[in-house]
Amino acid sequence: MLNFFDKSKKESETAEKKGFFQKIKEGLLKTRENLTSKIDSIVTIGRKIDEELLEELEEILILADIGISTTSKIIEGIRQKAKERKIYDASQIKELLAEEVYEILQKDVEPFTLTSPMVILNVGVNGVGKTTTIGKLAYLYKKEGKKVMLAAGDTFRAAAIDQLEIWAERVNCPIIKHQEGSDPASVIFDGIQASKARGIDILICDTAGRLHNKKNLMEELRKIRKVIDREYPEARVETFLVLDATTGQNALQQAKIFKEVSDITGIVLTKLDGTAKGGIVVAIKSELNVPIRYIGIGEGIEDLQAFDAKSFVSAIFQ
């Protein structure tokens, strides 16, 4: 049994780890207040874990954007654990809930490690913070000592190319770009050749987010992937889907569509600090079984954090 509420463990934590956890806790403040205050209000002294309590908890979770099917799975898990462990006191419901959420987030997840050479394709609709995410990823990877290059594959918006160029200057890494309207696959091709010539560890590629035309999007992503596989067979390829957490269930619908058109290997959820519905993290992982790799918990360059399920659960329920 995992104990997310054991205060004694914190004494031995390093200052760096405490700072990291505190940052996540602050970033998830709205979600924590939304969930825990409502849960606390139904857990009154002397109350037992019964069907009435579970129904009230179910409503709270659905309103936190955890979604109906994921919520049903969580409630059934709590019901089973409470029965098996002979837990009757409602005061322990939060611990059981934290365990269920942690199990969903950890299921089938392999640790994410950086290798070289590596290509990271970033996909997602316009306005979710895709270009900013690329800049922040470049910053993170450079901090880890990696040589990073950017490729401006969203050639349908001049603003996207300009914005990526600003990020390249900011984090001091090279960028490969063509003119607006160019073939995105040719930009990625040039990015690959430049990466090989300059000994780049990680090539991070932007792509267009034209979800309204699924057929074109699928064709474009397929063409880009074909170029990577042909020109850079030795590179490991990751495809990150960038989603805006403030859009709640819309983010889940976007994720389902992108999963149809591309081999998504990881999710990046931006703007988690701006929503009380951080439960969408759990819904996306549960329904798609794609690992959450990074979360955005602020506007600063260091506010894109590698996702850690235990820290996330502790930050919400502690």
Asked which of 52, 80, 106 is the last residue of a domain, the reply is 106
Structural element, H or E, at residue 18: helix 15-27
Going by C-alpha positions, the residue among 318, 288, 303 that lies closest to residue 105 is 288
pLDDT at 45: 82
Asked which of 106, 138, 157 is the last residue of a domain, the reply is 106
15 CB-near residues (< 8 Å, 6+ apart) = none
In this structure, are 130 and 70 located in the same domain?
no
Residue 315 lies in a domain: no
Residue 13 lies in a domain: no
Flag whether pLDDT at 5 surpasses 70.
Answer: no
When pLDDT is averaged across residues 17-24 and rounded to a whole number, the result is: 69
Are residues 111 and 228 in contact, defined by beta-carbon separation less than 8 angstroms?
no
Residue 261 lies in a domain: yes
Which residues on neighbouring strands pair with residue 184, listed in sequence order?
none
Residue ranges at the known binding site: 124-131, 206-210, 270-273
The region that residue 56 occupies, defined by phi over 0 for left and psi between -120 and 50 for alpha, beta otherwise, is alpha
Which CATH number covers residue 67? 1.20.120.140
Which residues on neighbouring strands pair with residue 270, listed in sequence order?
244
What would the pLDDT profile of 118-137 be if each residue is shown by its tens digit? 999 999 988 899 999 999 99
Residues in the chain, total:
318
Residue 317 lies in a domain: no
Q: Which two tokens mark 209?
A: 């987010």
What would the pLDDT profile of 26-42 be if each residue is shown by its tens digit? 888 888 888 888 999 99
Flag whether pLDDT at 11 surpasses 50.
Answer: no
In this structure, are 124 and 48 located in the same domain?
no
Give CA torsion, residues 64, 69, 72, 77, to 10 deg: -100
In this structure, are 215 and 240 located in the same domain?
yes
Mean pLDDT of the chain: 90
In this structure, are 102 and 122 located in the same domain?
no
Structural element, H or E, at residue 268: strand 266-270
Are residues 103 and 78 in contact, defined by beta-carbon separation less than 8 angstroms?
no
Position 291: which residue type?
Answer: P
Residue 90 lies in a domain: yes
In this structure, are 175 and 263 located in the same domain?
yes
Residue pointed to by tokens 């098996």: 84
When pLDDT is averaged across residues 45-51 and rounded to a whole number, the result is: 91
Q: Are strands 148-151 and 175-176 parallel, antiparallel or unpaired?
A: parallel
Range of the domain at 30: 20-106
In this structure, are 78 and 200 located in the same domain?
no
Residue 170: φ, ψ to 5°: -60, -45
CA distances for 216 relative to 172, 208, 211, angstroms: 33, 10, 9
The tally of domains found in the chain comes to 2
Asked which of 58, 77, 106 is the last residue of a domain, the reply is 106
When pLDDT is averaged across residues 248-267 and rounded to a whole number, the result is: 89
What would the pLDDT profile of 162-206 be if each residue is shown by its tens digit? 999 999 999 999 999 999 999 999 999 999 999 999 999 999 999
Residue ranges at the known binding site for GTP: 124-131, 206-210, 270-273
